[in-house]
């Protein structure tokens, strides 16, 4: 039996993340072995989960994991005493919604409702969610967020007397994680201090029925599940992965799978002056290079090491922020910053590009066979301008059927805006 629950919301911004973080810290300090998860491909919430709990959070993505979805969940959940899954957007929103995850995993839902500015109306909201969930046999519990006073709380509890309310958070500025145009702030930005986290944890302990939460469990039998598949048939022995404040967007399940198959060593394009010794491949993931653009542009020694690596035909795989780093230059806030220069590309700030992608590989590479199809996603605020015509090796399709070509190859260097979520190919 898997103990756990899904923290879902009525909509984005209702308080799912703050409730999840508070519960993670409160249950961790009870001495429990916890395992955080996040529905969908989001990197930022998972980084907060790890910061608060000390445990690497795992993304659960129906789009890319497909039939292996339950296997990935079970791989991590079986090690924990309780699993806490943070949902995405509103409970029913999207083609690969939190609701679909709840159905697949048969876990109860802890619904966060932002009750500020309402009282009796909350019953209509709760009743609607309850009716939808009852059809699938999913248990519903409520959390009330941004309660303005004791009187407000009592009115809410009275109108919700026939519902299972497991806790509430008062309206406090300390319980808000600010955002910026790039999304929520990252933990390293030190916006949400340890003092605020401790206050949140104490409030959760006071206002939540943690004993009941600890009894919640899945109705699904996971014991018969197998180990998730991992198709990466390459002869590498050692991989160097860029990991620092700039390049920090990586999936826990992929990193762990790489560690099981290869020797992994991390390095920092921001601070280091040398690459790790005796590596076979470099992996540069995503992040926020635009926020550290001056610093990474000034580390000329590392840039030259990376450039030489690519010129020598050694294997390098880069995603999004990694693509930006391998470009010729980046324009940011009216200034031009030189990058590694593997590809004749100029990077400019742009609107948000976000969404799932299905990619067909058009040319054989060290990583993919020709015509392989993989799934991933994009999340960036930049666009590419080609300074010289470059052959594209990816045919990319979004969920709306739009098709375009991107993905760049130079010798044995591959770079793209697409974040690979899983080394499982639907057409195999």
CA distance 30 to 16: 21
Vertex 66 angle, CA 64 and 70, to 5° = 115
> Which listed residue (14, 248, 315, 320) is catalytic?
320
Strand partners, 283: 241, 317
Say if residues 34 and 81 touch (Cβ distance below 8 Å): yes
Q: 356-394 burial, b if ≥16 CB within 10 A, otherwise e?
A: bbbbbbbeebbbbeeebebbbbbbbbbebeeeeebebbb
Q: Which three-class secondary structure string do you get for the chain?
A: CCEEEEEEECCCCCCHHHHHHHHHHHHHCCCCCEEEEEECCCCHHHHHHHHHHCCCCEEECHHHHHHHHHHHHHHHHCCCCEEEEECCCCCCCCCCCHHHHHHHHCCCEEEEEECCCCCCHHHHHHHHHHHHHHCCCCCEEEEEEEECCHHHHHHHHHHCCCCCEEEEEECCHHHCCCEECCEECCHHHCCCCHHHHHHHHHHHHHHECHHHHCCCECCCCCCCCCCCCCCCCCCCCEEEEECCCCEEECCHHHHHHHHHHCEEEEECCCCCCCCCCCCCEEEECEECHHHHHHHHHHCHHHHHHHHHHHHCCCEEEEECHHHHHHCCEEEECCEEEECCCCCCEEEEEEEEEEEEEEEEECCCCCCCCCCCEEEEEEEEEEEEEECCCCCEEEEEECCCCCEEEEEEEECCEEEECCEECCCCCCCC
Is 315 in the active site?
no
CA distance 343 to 138: 50
Longest dimension (CA), the chain: 71
Instruction: Provide the annotated active-site residues.
Output: 320
């Amino acid at each position: 039996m898997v103990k756990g629950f899904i923290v879902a919301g009525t909509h984005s911004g209702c308080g799912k993340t703050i409730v999840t973080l508070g519960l993670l810290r409160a249950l961790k300090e009870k001495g429990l072995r916890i395992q955080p998860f996040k529905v969908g491909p989001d990197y930022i919430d998972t980084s907060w989960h790890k910061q608060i709990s000390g445990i690497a959070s795992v993304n659960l993505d129906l789009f890319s994991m497909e039939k292996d979805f339950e296997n990935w969940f079970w791989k991590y959940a079986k090690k924990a005493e309780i699993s806490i899954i943070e949902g995405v957007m509103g409970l029913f929103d999207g083609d690969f919604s939190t609701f679909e995850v709840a159905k697949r995993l048969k876990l109860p839902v802890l619904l966060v409702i932002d009750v500020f500015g309402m009282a009796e109306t909350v019953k209509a909201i709760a009743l609607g969610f309850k009716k939808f969930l009852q059809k699938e046999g999913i248990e519903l519990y409520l959390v009330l967020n941004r309660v303005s006073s004791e009187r407000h709380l009592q009115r809410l509890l009275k109108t919700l007397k026939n519902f299972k309310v497991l806790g509430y958070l008062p309206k406090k500025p300390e319980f808000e994680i600010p955002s910026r145009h790039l999304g929520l702030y990252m933990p390293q930005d030190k916006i949400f201090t340890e003092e605020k986290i401790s206050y949140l944890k104490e409030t959760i302990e006071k206002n939540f029925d943690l004993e009941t939460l600890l009894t919640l469990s899945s109705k699904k039998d996971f014991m018969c599940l197998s180990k998730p598949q991992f198709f990466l048939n390459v002869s590498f022995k050692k991989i160097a992965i860029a990991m620092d404040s700039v390049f920090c967007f990586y999936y826990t399940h992929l990193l762990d799978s790489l560690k099981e198959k290869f020797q992994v060593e991390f390095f920092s394009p921001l601070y280091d002056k040398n690459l790790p010794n005796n590596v076979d491949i470099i992996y540069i993931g995503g992040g926020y290079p635009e926020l550290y653009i001056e610093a990474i542009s000034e580390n000329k020694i590392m840039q030259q090491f990376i450039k030489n690596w690519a010129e020598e035909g050694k294997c390098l795989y880069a995603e999004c922020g990694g693509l930006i780093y391998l470009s010729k230059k980046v324009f940011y806030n009216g200034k031009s910053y030189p990058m590694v220069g593997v590809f004749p590309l100029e990077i400019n700030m742009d609107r948000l590009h976000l969404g799932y992608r299905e990619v067909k590989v058009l040319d054989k590479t060290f990583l993919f066979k020709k015509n392989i199809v993989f799934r991933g996603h994009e999340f960036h605020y930049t666009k590419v301008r080609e300074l010289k015509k470059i052959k594209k090796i990816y045919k990319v399709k979004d969920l709306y059927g739009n098709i375009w070509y991107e993905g760049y190859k130079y010798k044995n260097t591959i770079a793209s805006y697409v974040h690979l979520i899983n080394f499982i190919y639907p057409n195999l």
